[in-house]
Amino acid sequence: MIATAKLVLRCLAVLAALSPRIRPAEGKIAFYSNRGGDEDVYLMNADGTDVQLLTEGPFTGLCPDLSPDGRRIVFVSRGDGNSDLYLMELATRGVKRLTDLPSTERQPRWSPDGRRIALQSNRDGNYEIYTMDAEGQNWVRLTHTDAEELWPKWSPDGRQIAFSSMRDGNWEIYIVGADGTGLRRLTHSDRRELNPSWSPDGTRIAFASGTDRRFQLDVHIINVDGTNEVQLTDLNGVEENPIWSPVGNRIAFQTMKDGNFEIYVMDADGSNWQNLTNDPAHDYWPSWVNPIAADDVKPAPQGFLPAESVQLQIACDDRAVNDAMIPSRSFSCYVIAGESRLLFDAGGGGSLLHE
């Protein structure tokens, strides 16, 4: 048992090295609202608390998207009469202009590694999907049709982008490689399919689907191979712009169920609705991340994770289940620490493996 105790301590030491900081429980959600009289970008905790105004003065903001590390936010501003993209450093609130074209650039979305931004632009005559680097340079055009292509969203591995298109005469969801190759159509219906959003594990896409009626949209989810489409909301109104929680168990979206647009969150099966914003003004376009950021994390004391955040499940040790069995010297332990999952297996030879 002494050897077992030493091995457990070794497990915890390795965990401390791999996970020296603890993620916030829920993360942050950005959105935009006209609650202050202008369209501005706001930031709040994922439970709806601590709402902060981010854009003021000439930098009115729409369509915000938080960077994966939670340190920056890209958004649309029409402060000078044109629709361009801007970048804000959240630590300083400093703002940098990324685009300065006579065309319209909207709906920016960060790549998972934070190096590129997908967007829609009509710089070539009609709305197409493009990517550019985080400095606003090195544009790559991904779509080439005479139809409108809108609402780009990166896959979690950064290899693909989902978007909505009218190219076949109806709004449908398509997927294209991040280099513009491998285009395929995901949805096939006579309804409008809008606002695609990948689940964090890359297996499903949430989107808004509705009839030709202007104020009739519901949130659906579908497997990335086009199977098993499920409708999550069924109200006589608008539920749109779904975005998955960082761990994939909940979905935030905007709805008009209360008479004006509010940000709600629900479980990934459509249950347990919760209103995150409660303001007479409209609130739109949630963006949800759970970053490891200097202002949001707490160093683990003495290099170890807090005991309450660690679970140990002993799979095998040197004890027999009854007196008729002879135990062997071995140890296997499944460790759950925050978002980390590791299996430690010393086996019968005493070597330590982890994955």
Distance separating alpha carbons of residues 116 and 134, to the nearest angstrom: 5
- 161's enclosing H/E stretch is strand 160-165
**Residue 28 pLDDT > 80:** yes
CATH 2.120.10.30 for the 32-296 domain, yes or no: yes
**Residue 296 pLDDT > 80:** no
Q: Does residue 313 come out as left (phi exceeding 0), alpha (psi in the -120 to 50 range) or beta? A: beta
> What tens digit of pLDDT does each residue of 183-211 get?
999 999 989 999 999 999 999 999 999 98
Q: With cut-offs at 50, 70 and 90, classify the pLDDT of residue 89.
A: very high
Q: In the predicted model, what is the mean pLDDT of residues 19-38?
A: 74
- According to DSSP, the β-strands at 274-275 and 140-141 are unpaired
> What tens digit of pLDDT does each residue of 301-323 get?
434 444 434 555 566 666 665 56
Residue 321: the pLDDT is 54
pTM: 0.75
Q: In the predicted model, what is the mean pLDDT of residues 270-281?
A: 95
Domain locations along the chain: 2-19+303-345, 32-296
More confident residue, 337 or 157: 157
Which range (7-21, 27-41, 188-202, 264-278) has the least confidence?
7-21
Only one residue has tokens 């005991």, namely 307
Q: Is 301 buried (19+), middle (13-18) or exposed (0-12) by CB count in 10 A?
A: exposed
As a whole-number percent, the residues of the chain with pLDDT over 90 amount to: 66
The answer to whether 276 touches 29, Cβ cutoff 8 Å, is: yes
Distance separating alpha carbons of residues 106 and 84, to the nearest angstrom: 7
